[in-house]
Amino acid sequence: MADGVGKLYKKGLRDGNQVARRSAGRQKDEFLARNESPPIVEQREGARNHMRIKALTLILVLLGILGLVGCGQGAVFYGSGWAVVENASNAGPISSLTIPATGTGNLIVVALMFNDGTYVTSVSDDAGNAYVSADAKAYVGALSTEIWYAVNSKPGATVVTPTFAESTTHVEITVWEVSGISTSAPDVTNTSSGSITLNNTPGPAVITTHAGDFIVSVLFAADTNVSGISTGNEFTNDFTTNGNGWAHITSNSVPAGTHQASWVTSTPQGEYCASTVAFRPAQ
């Protein structure tokens, strides 16, 4: 498309210049007959040609804005991608998590780990943001992981509170606030559970359909501790709260496809459950 527009642009200039030269020749003869100076004719025709060039340039700019002309390698760019604005984490016999005050229009991701075989019925904060489940609920024995989120955040939230169907004695909460995320539903989610393996316990993989997704993956290790992300893995482990894994994809420009966090564990014992959610970037 860009080549075709470029050829049209060049042809327009060429044809315009040919017409201009013929017109200039006729007008020179007419003006000479009236004793008018040829340089004046040339100045007027130069001005007209300049306006033609500006008009064609404007057409190309408008085509680029509409996405009909690509930007380098045929790609159309929608922005610089998402960015993690704030995050926070805590665990224990807690009922809520204090976080840095939220901004406006961002994504708030709330990842939860808890025991006693219950489940989350709602999540709220003190600014009135509306949270929904990402449907990434994993279980192993009495342990559970869930991920909830709110889009287009209201400013000033400082306390996030989950509500459970039944009482639980241990809760872990991690929150990410992220700018540059779509307000639509998550791109894809997945969950997994299994046995801990030495040095490389993978979380659930997701196959994204959008480039540049923001991906969160968390892993609840029942009987051992997570010490960090596996060497060479494309995720960043933000916290090891209570010896568990809380990670997000490192780059905001990863291609669509399969993405999977993996953690190093101190001893290969016990089981785990894990949840992963990919959120679409804003466009």
CB atoms within 10 A of CB 250: 12
Is pLDDT at 236 greater than 60 in this prediction? Answer: yes
Closest to 196 measured CA to CA, from 275, 113, 269, 264: 269
CA gap 225, 245 in Å, rounded: 9
Closest to 77 measured CA to CA, from 180, 155, 203: 180
178 contacts 277 by C-beta, under 8 angstroms: no
126 CB burial (10 A radius; 0-12, 13-18, 19+): middle
| pLDDT value at residue 49 | 55
**Interval 113-163: pLDDT, tens:** 999 999 999 999 999 999 999 999 999 999 999 999 999 999 999 999 999
| pLDDT value at residue 178 | 98
Tell if the pTM clears 0.85, that is, is over it.
no
Q: Alpha helices of 115-169 — where are they, by DSSP H? A: none
**Interval 162-199: pLDDT, tens:** 999 999 999 999 999 999 999 999 999 999 999 999 87
| pLDDT value at residue 78 | 33
| pLDDT value at residue 278 | 98
CA gap 82, 211 in Å, rounded: 12
**Interval 198-227: pLDDT, tens:** 878 999 999 999 999 999 999 999 999 999
In whole angstroms, what separates CA 234 from the centre of its chain?
A: 15
Task: Count Cα atoms within 13 angstroms, Cβ side, for 98.
Answer: 0
Angstrom distances, CA of residue 159 to CA of 99, 128, 188: 6, 11, 27
**Interval 46-62: pLDDT, tens:** 555 555 545 544 444 34
**Interval 59-116: pLDDT, tens:** 443 444 333 333 222 222 233 599 999 999 999 999 999 999 999 999 999 999 999 9
Angstrom distances, CA of residue 176 to CA of 86, 220, 238, 248: 6, 18, 10, 9
